[in-house]
């Protein structure tokens, strides 16, 4: 593999039952879960892999650690992430952010 990342996805049990679109009630559960877990004093880690829409503020406010790559971070924050300065501004959306930038850079803010 020459040191490059490789991701293999095999659909299985976790893919069964997924519909094309979540109902409004199901989305409401997702929005409220972060706050419920936070009130139970459980750290909330959100991996935004594959997310292509903005995360609701009520969910984002309950996140302790946000994990994304630079493209996902740029989409979520609507900020550029090409430079270290831009990364630094974008990662202020959560207390702890882990951002990966391909195989040559990894940036974390705590």
pTM tops 0.85: no
Share the mean pLDDT of the chain.
69
Instruction: Indicate the pLDDT class of residue 15, thresholds 50, 70 and 90.
Output: low
18-27, 45-54, 71-80, 87-96: which is most confident: 71-80
85 belongs to a structural domain: yes
Tens digit of each residue's pLDDT (9 = 90 or more) over 50-90: 666 667 777 777 777 778 877 887 877 788 888 888 877 87
Give yes or no for a contact between 63 and 46, defined as CB atoms under 8 angstroms apart.
yes
Greater confidence (8 vs 109) lies with 8
Q: Say whether pLDDT at 95 is over 60.
A: no
Q: Which of 87, 88, 28, 78 is nearest to 58 (CA)?
A: 28
* Burial (Cβ within 10 Å: 0-12, 13-18, ≥19) of residue 59: middle
Distance CA 99, CA 70 (A): 6
Could you give the number of structural domains in the chain? 1
Q: CA angle at residue 7 from 83 to 59, to 5 degrees?
A: 60
Q: Is residue 50 part of a domain?
A: yes
Residue with tokens 């740029």: 74
- Asked whether residue 89 is domain-assigned, the answer is yes
- pLDDT of 18 > 60? The answer is no
Cβ-contact 81, 73 below 8 angstroms: yes
Return the pLDDT at 3. Answer: 60
- Tell me, yes or no, whether 21 lies in a domain: yes
Domain hosting 73: range is 13-109
């Amino acid at each position: 593999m020459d040191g490059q990342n490789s991701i293999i996805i095999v659909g299985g049990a976790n893919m069964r039952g997924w519909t094309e679109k979540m109902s409004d009630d199901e989305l409401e559960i997702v929005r409220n879960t972060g706050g419920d877990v936070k009130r139970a004093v459980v750290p909330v880690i959100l991996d935004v892999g594959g997310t292509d829409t903005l995360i609701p503020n009520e969910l984002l406010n309950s996140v302790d650690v946000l994990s994304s790559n630079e493209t996902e971070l740029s989409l979520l924050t609507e900020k550029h992430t090409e430079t270290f300065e831009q990364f630094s501004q974008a990662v202020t959306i959560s207390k702890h952010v882990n951002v990966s930038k391909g195989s040559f850079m990894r940036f974390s803010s705590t």
